[in-house]
């Protein structure tokens, strides 16, 4: 008990096995679902300044029960083949859980993007993309990457442009990758999608009074004290929506440079501005710096949101976690042994394969938009405005009163792309949580949300294989 296995691939495998034992699915089919179908490792040279560097790159395609496969590309010095395989598996289960018709995949290049100039990163990205193209690991109908740790809209635009150069005239070329800038075939709301999905998921989980009573919390988000570990894209947007739309009090935050806290609450907009100017969260006005950034996880709060890397809550610190709920915005932040300790303490754990599925959900919307070659809302917006205005005018005649002009404009407004995207994301997160919760309450043997989420995902994937005729 003094040591634990922190290999993410082994952890995901254990979580799979824990859920699978409750399902009565044929062992051979379980082996097929669990196995990573294809892994590609390659090395490629790139000229950096006056020298050449050789980079290590990977792409793993975990499951082909649905096509294309889908998963982000991360740039990190910590990238390993085991990590990429584990993240690809998580993508498979995540997509199945939220009914996004993709198999899971993941890619990565071992590097620290902070050490390279933009022009160097562009060369690295384009060469990595060329390798993927030559090996058949990218394409609108085969394998569709997206942003992940260390990458963003900029890198996705480079990937799309490189793919287009290799496939001149392909009318669906933009669908080879998601997370692109809106002006380059992206979709409104994609950048903040994972963080917004985290908010929707926590909000839904906190709407069930019976569940929250068990952990000593009242229903609703208003006034809940929240700590955000990892103030990157996901952490920032999670904090923003939890504060602005949920009414939560963000009392602590951290990034790669350190951690801060203020028990009276942090102004997230000002904190983001401070970090943009200073390149750090430290020394933010009204807050205190923590001498040990990892101590942020151990502060008393209602909701702890790990939004950084895997293996943040482990056997070493689990007993000191004082949060009443852990909402996993990152992949694999809680180890199995740590989870056992938290569950015994009565902590509500909202699992990663559900909670951070907002990114791939909106990526699915973007992929569909690229294939349809039509912006969401473009054809129906004006028609819906006319229909709604006609209804409102009829209502005014019936009640013999007029709506204020400002209210009339707001009510009659047809949906823009962002409205449709957010509506679709919200509905997806609500529906998925209710499915997980129902599976948990229906089962006599499953005792936690993570196991219930895996069970739901595995059953859906198993059904797909049976329907395909792969297994009788």
Q: How confident is the model at residue 472 (pLDDT cuts 50, 70, 90)?
A: low
Instruction: State the pLDDT at residue 375.
Output: 87
Instruction: State the pLDDT at residue 410.
Output: 79
Please tell me the pTM assigned to this model.
0.93
Does residue 402 belong to any structural domain of this protein?
Answer: no
Are 77 and 54 part of one and the same domain?
Answer: yes
Q: How far apart are CA 284 and CA 199, in angstroms?
A: 24
When pLDDT is averaged across residues 198-225 and rounded to a whole number, the result is 97
Cα 177–Cα 178–Cα 182 angle in degrees, nearest 5: 120
Higher pLDDT, 102 or 405: 102
Taking all residues of the chain, what is their mean pLDDT, rounded to a whole number?
95
**Domain ends where: 146, 162, 179?**
179
Are 109 and 199 part of one and the same domain?
Answer: no
Q: How confident is the model at residue 315 (pLDDT cuts 50, 70, 90)?
A: very high
Q: Which helix (H) or strand (E) holds 38?
A: strand 38-48
As a residue count, the chain comes to 472
Asked if residue 61 has pLDDT above 50, the reply is yes
Are 209 and 347 part of one and the same domain?
Answer: yes
Are 202 and 144 part of one and the same domain?
Answer: no
The string of pLDDT tens digits covering residues 10-25 is 999 999 999 999 999 9
Instruction: State the pLDDT at residue 1.
Output: 45
Instruction: State the pLDDT at residue 471.
Output: 75
Does residue 7 belong to any structural domain of this protein?
Answer: no
Q: How far apart are CA 107 and CA 39, in angstroms?
A: 10
Q: How far apart are CA 421 and CA 373, in angstroms?
A: 16
When pLDDT is averaged across residues 26-43 and rounded to a whole number, the result is 96
> DSSP string spanning 99-145?
T---EEEEEEEES-GGGS-HHHHHHHHHHHHHHHHHTT--BTTTEEE
Are 197 and 342 part of one and the same domain?
Answer: yes
Are 281 and 323 part of one and the same domain?
Answer: yes
Instruction: Find where tokens 């068990």 sit.
Output: 214
Contacts of 391 (CB under 8 A, 6+ apart): none
Instruction: Find where tokens 């504060």 sit.
Output: 243
Please state which of the ranges 110-114, 116-120, 154-158, 378-382 shows the lowest mean pLDDT.
378-382
Are 208 and 231 part of one and the same domain?
Answer: yes
Active site residue 369: no
**Domain ends where: 179, 198, 222?**
179
Are 130 and 222 part of one and the same domain?
Answer: no
Instruction: State the pLDDT at residue 2.
Output: 55
Are 50 and 119 part of one and the same domain?
Answer: yes
Does residue 437 belong to any structural domain of this protein?
Answer: yes
> DSSP string spanning 71-85?
EEEEEETT--HHHHH
Among the options 34, 106, 240, 249, which is catalytic?
106
Strand order in 249-255's β-sheet?
288-289, 258-261, 249-255, 225-229, 303-306, 325-327, 348-350
Q: How far apart are CA 19 and CA 17, in angstroms?
A: 5
Asked if residue 275 has pLDDT above 90, the reply is yes
Residue 469 gets the label, from left (phi > 0), alpha (psi -120 to 50) or beta, of left
CATH code of residue 268 = 3.40.50.720
**Domain ends where: 141, 161, 179?**
179
The string of pLDDT tens digits covering residues 161-173 is 999 999 999 999 9
Are 56 and 86 part of one and the same domain?
Answer: yes
- The first and second tokens of residue 73, run together, are 């590309």
When pLDDT is averaged across residues 422-431 and rounded to a whole number, the result is 97
The string of pLDDT tens digits covering residues 343-400 is 999 999 999 999 999 999 999 999 999 999 988 888 787 888 888 888 888 887 888 8
Are 162 and 263 part of one and the same domain?
Answer: no
Q: How confident is the model at residue 404 (pLDDT cuts 50, 70, 90)?
A: confident
Are 206 and 163 part of one and the same domain?
Answer: no
Domain range for 288 is 187-361+422-472
Domain count, the chain: 2
């Amino acid at each position: 008990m003094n040591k634990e296995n922190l290999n993410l691939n082994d952890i995901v495998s254990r979580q799979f096995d824990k859920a699978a034992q409750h399902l009565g699915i044929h062992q051979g089919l379980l082996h097929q679902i669990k196995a990573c179908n294809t892994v590609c490792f390659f090395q490629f040279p790139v000229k950096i300044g006056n020298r050449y560097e050789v980079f290590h790159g990977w792409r793993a395609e975990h499951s082909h029960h649905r096509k294309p496969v889908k998963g982000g590309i991360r740039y990190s010095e910590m990238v390993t083949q085991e990590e990429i395989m584990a993240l690809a598996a998580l993508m498979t289960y995540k997509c199945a859980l939220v009914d996004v018709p993709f198999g899971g995949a993941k890619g990565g290049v071992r590097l620290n993007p902070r050490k390279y100039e933009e022009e160097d990163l562009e060369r690295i990205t384009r060469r990595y993309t060329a390798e993927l193209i030559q090996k058949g690991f990218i394409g609108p109908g085969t394998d569709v990457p997206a942003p992940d740790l260390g990458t963003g809209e900029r890198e996705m635009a480079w990937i799309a442009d490189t793919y287009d150069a290799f496939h001149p005239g392909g009318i669906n070329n933009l669908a080879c990758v998601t997370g692109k800038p809106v002006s380059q075939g992206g979709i409104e709301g994609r950048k903040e999608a994972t963080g917004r999905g985290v908010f929707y998921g926590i909000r839904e989980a906190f709407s069930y009074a019976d569940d929250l009573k068990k952990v000593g919390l009242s229903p609703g988000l208003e006034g809940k004290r929240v700590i955000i570990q990892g103030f990157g894209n996901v952490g920032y947007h999670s904090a923003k929506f939890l504060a602005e739309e949920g009414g939560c009090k963000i009392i602590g935050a951290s990034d790669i440079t350190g951690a801060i806290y203020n028990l009276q609450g942090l102004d997230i907009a000002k904190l983001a501005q401070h970090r943009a100017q200073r390149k750090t969260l430290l020394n933010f006005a009204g807050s205190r710096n923590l001498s040990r950034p990892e101590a942020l996880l151990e502060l008393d709060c209602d909701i702890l949101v790990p939004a950084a890397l895997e293996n943040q809550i482990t056997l070493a610190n689990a007993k000191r976690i004082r949060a009443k709920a852990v909402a996993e915005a990152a992949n694999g932040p809680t180890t199995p042994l740590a989870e056992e300790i938290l569950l015994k303490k009565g902590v509500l754990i909202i699992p990663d394969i559900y909670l951070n599925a907002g990114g791939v959900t909106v990526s699915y919307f973007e992929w569909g938009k690229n294939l349809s070659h039509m912006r969401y809302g473009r054809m129906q917006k004006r028609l819906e405005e006319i229909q709604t205005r006609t209804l409102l005018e009829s209502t005014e005649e019936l009640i013999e009163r007029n709506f204020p002009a400002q209210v009339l404009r707001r009510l009659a407004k047809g949906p823009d792309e962002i409205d449709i995207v957010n509506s679709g994301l919200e509905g997806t997160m609500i529906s998925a949580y209710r499915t997980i919760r129902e599976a948990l309450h229906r089962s006599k043997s499953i005792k936690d949300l993570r196991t219930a989420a895996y069970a739901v995902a595995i059953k859906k994937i198993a059904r797909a294989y049976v329907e395909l005729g792969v297994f009788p």
